[in-house]
Amino acid sequence: MPTNYDFQQVWQSCMMNNYGTPAIALTHGSGCTVWDTEGNEYLDLVAGIATSALGHAHPAIVDAVSNQVSTIAHTSNLYMHQPGLDLAQRLLELAHTDGRVFFSQDGATAIEAAYKLSRRHGWLADPTGGKQEIIAVVGGFHGRTMGALSITGNDAKRDPFAPLPGPVTFVPFGDAAALREAITSATAAVFVEPVLGEGGVYPTPEGYLPEARVFCDEFNALLVVDEVQSGMGRTGDWYASFAAGVTPDIVTLAKGLAGGLPLGACLAFGQTADLFKPGDHGSTFGGNPISCAAALAVIDSIEKEDLLVNAKVVGDHWADRFAAIAHPLMAESRGVGLWRALQLTEAKAAAVEAASRDAGYLVNAVKPDAIRLAPPLILSIDQADAFADALPTILDAAVAA
């Protein structure tokens, strides 16, 4: 069997360098556990970046995908298929709101659909072109495609690829007063995450989303809530926005939607649902029957296994365990559900990630001084405790590195 080093050599010979070279090559997984090519075992607390909602090799996904691929694997958007229609209906039912769904391949392409809906809204509201501004959030992340990148609030990610679509105005995260000052009749849409994901797992302050809804209504702007990471149970609710008492005009989904298979969704509600006309938008692979079948299995399993409750119970337990850790490298923990960040007192996140891996845990250095935890929603109390018990020793190793 090739070693991790062997995989690295092949990677460096043929892969673009946008990711750097990963430390290990994973071969298989079961539940919350994965193994690398050398047989090392890890508790997966990354889940493909909040994506493998049911963990690895979950029987429901295996059965759904196997059954679907044995009948029809792809139809394009020229023809209908049962899994896609069933999934669209289920996603709207979970929102308890009438609307329409566009399926894409991933989160960035779901955002692109939302961006185009915002442009269409702006043109219809002001045919002279005076309502095209997008307001987004400093520290927000919406994807790497050019439209999604233009509203990503990170200069280091945006600047190398300027000029980008616009106009875009960035406001401080969670600052309702700043949003109120920025929004005008020229604003077509406001894009916001309920919890900053790539920005370091910061939940919005209580009441912020309802205030954003009021401001958008006042100025006839769309409220677009990016739930690519927060949706599908990550926070302990199907949709963090609806749980906050807000009905957005658009919600975008991906990540955990299909439990590891490529699928994104753009849900539009009210009049926004009817903005697209035939020919306005499309996707060859979006809403693929296999991915839709997997997503239905994810939704069914979350319901049957009571995983929304599990996300809250295990997440709250983790928060208590982390709060009890007194270590000079540990500043605080934050987050919601099974979506947590460990804030460090120094820029040692890469060292903590490496020390965690050496100890048998996969975590993500989301920022130089922050660790992101986004495990499968099936994570148990015992597994959560195992990492919490190991964390002080991991932090010691990171300090010594």
Residues 312 and 297 in one domain: no
Residues 261 and 376 in one domain: no
Residues 165 and 272 in one domain: yes
The last residue of one of the domains, among 304, 332, 357, is 304
Residues 6+ apart with CB under 8 A from 154: 139, 140, 141, 198, 199
Specify the number of domains making up the chain: 2
Structure tokens at 255: 């990540």
Pick from 174, 177, 184: which is nearest to 139 by CA?
Answer: 174
**Would you say residue 122 lies in a domain?**
yes
The structure tokens 């996707």 sit at 283
In the chain, pLDDT over 90 holds for what percent of residues?
100
Residue 191, strand partner residues: 224
Structure tokens at 366: 């989301």
**Residue 1: predicted pLDDT:** 85
Structure tokens at 71: 């009948």
Residues 298 and 359 in one domain: no
pLDDT in tens, 130-180: 999 999 999 999 999 999 999 999 999 999 999 999 999 999 999 999 999
* Distance (Å, whole) CA 382 – CA 401: 28
> What band does 247 get if pLDDT is binned at 50, 70 and 90?
very high
**Would you say residue 16 lies in a domain?**
yes
> What band does 194 get if pLDDT is binned at 50, 70 and 90?
very high
* Distance (Å, whole) CA 229 – CA 322: 22
pLDDT in tens, 35-56: 999 999 999 999 999 999 999 9
* Distance (Å, whole) CA 153 – CA 159: 11
> What band does 309 get if pLDDT is binned at 50, 70 and 90?
very high
**Would you say residue 66 lies in a domain?**
no
* Distance (Å, whole) CA 338 – CA 361: 16
**Would you say residue 314 lies in a domain?**
yes
Residue range of the domain that includes 23: 4-57+306-400
Q: Average of pLDDT values for 284-298?
A: 97
**Would you say residue 67 lies in a domain?**
no
Helix residue ranges, H only, 183-306: 208-218, 240-243, 289-304
Residues 6+ apart with CB under 8 A from 287: 77, 84, 87, 103, 104, 263
Structure tokens at 213: 């809804």
Helix residue ranges, H only, 248-380: 289-304, 307-323, 349-359
* Distance (Å, whole) CA 325 – CA 386: 14
pLDDT in tens, 103-120: 999 999 999 999 999 999
Residues 374 and 246 in one domain: no
- Chain centroid to Cα 301, Å, comes to 19
CATH code at position 381: 3.90.1150.10
The last residue of one of the domains, among 304, 330, 353, is 304
Residues 8 and 120 in one domain: no
Q: Average of pLDDT values for 277-293?
A: 97
Mean of pLDDT over the chain: 98
Per-residue b or e along 303-341, where b marks 16 or more CB atoms closer than 10 Å to that residue's CB: eeeebbebbbbbbeebeebbeeeebebbeebbbbbbbbb
Residues 332 and 377 in one domain: yes
CB 226 within 8 Å of CB 255: no
- Chain centroid to Cα 194, Å, comes to 11
**Would you say residue 8 lies in a domain?**
yes
Residues 244 and 141 in one domain: yes
Residues 47 and 82 in one domain: no
* Strand ranges (E), 37-156: 41-44, 99-104, 133-137
pLDDT in tens, 354-384: 999 999 999 999 999 999 999 999 999 999 9
* Distance (Å, whole) CA 318 – CA 297: 27
Give the CA angle between residues 294, 97, 137 to the nearest 5°.
80
**Residue 297: predicted pLDDT:** 98
The last residue of one of the domains, among 256, 272, 304, is 304
Helix axes of 289-304 and 307-323: crossing angle, nearest 10 degrees:
70
